Amino acid sequence: MESGEDVVVNSWVELQAALFDHSWESKIERFRSNYVYRGNWNKEFDLSTSIMRIGSRYEELEQHLLRNFRKYAHSNASPGDSIWNWLAVAQHHGLPTRLLDWTYSPLVALHFATQDLTKYDEDGAVWCVNYVRTSDYLPVPLKKALKEEGSNVFTPEMLEPVAPSLRALKSFQEQEFVVFLEPPSLDARITHQYALFSMMSDVKAELSQWLQQHPELYFRIIIPASLKWEVRDKLDQSNITERVLFPGLQGLSQWLKRHYTHK
């Protein structure tokens, strides 16, 4: 498949090939994908963030949202006082932020593309982004921090010394860039979803527009509406369900409701 293109699949077998055929890593002779995944129930959705949807002045409100979240949250709500820990906690609990949720698991991404049964008349999509190669566009201090740690993504503890604030992150260079950030294990949901976040250097930057300027970094898999039921049933059989991904009674209830809903 060509980078930057939409790959339309017409069967479960074609879908698995599209998700996994790029995962061979010749250097170590193992199947270790350099991609992360994000599933959407509608293929027309872009990668705009939740903070972009709160109004036209959202870029002026980001600091106010975070400051008040930290002020009113329990003192032990964050595993550390780093802004990056607080940002991850805020995203996890639904505050509008510049973060976007991703997963290392293509099957988890498929879950989010097919979890809503009321959207089975619309084509879905899975965004596939080579997070390892996105680091080629990082400013030098961030590249150096990753190299010294021997990592391909940041944690809050890695990012804090080199970029202690949102303002510092933006100040490195005029060109926009994306950072992938692994959150702390705030609860079982983060762990079970094999989750990480993307974060643009500028709150006004939109990741899908940035990716269009760098088509070698991504492709999309389009899931036709007619295929969603098969995908959903096979994910359920594989135990990729709300009961597993959202541990607790709410996830259990969501799974049971969907499991016993018929066409």
User: What tens digit of pLDDT does each residue of 173-206 get?
Assistant: 999 999 999 987 777 788 888 899 999 999 999 9
Q: Where are the domains of the chain?
A: 6-60+100-259
128 close to 249: Cβ distance less than 8 angstroms? no
- Residues 6 or more apart whose Cβ sits within 8 Å of residue 140: none
**Residue 27: its pLDDT value, please?**
87
Across the beta sheet with 6-8, the strand order is 6-8, 218-223, 124-130, 35-40, 99-103, 195-200, 178-181
- Return the percentage of the chain with pLDDT > 70, whole number: 97
Q: What is the pLDDT of residue 203?
A: 96
Q: What percent of the chain has pLDDT over 90?
A: 81
Task: For 234-245, write each residue's pLDDT tens digit.
Answer: 999 999 999 999
Residue 76 pLDDT? 66
Question: Tens of pLDDT along 129-144?
Answer: 999 999 999 999 999 9
Q: What is the mean pLDDT of the chain?
A: 93
Tell me the pLDDT tens digit for each residue of 211-234.
Answer: 999 999 999 999 999 999 999 999
pLDDT over 70 at 35, yes or no:
yes
Residue 78, pLDDT > 80, answer no
* 0.85 exceeded by pTM: yes
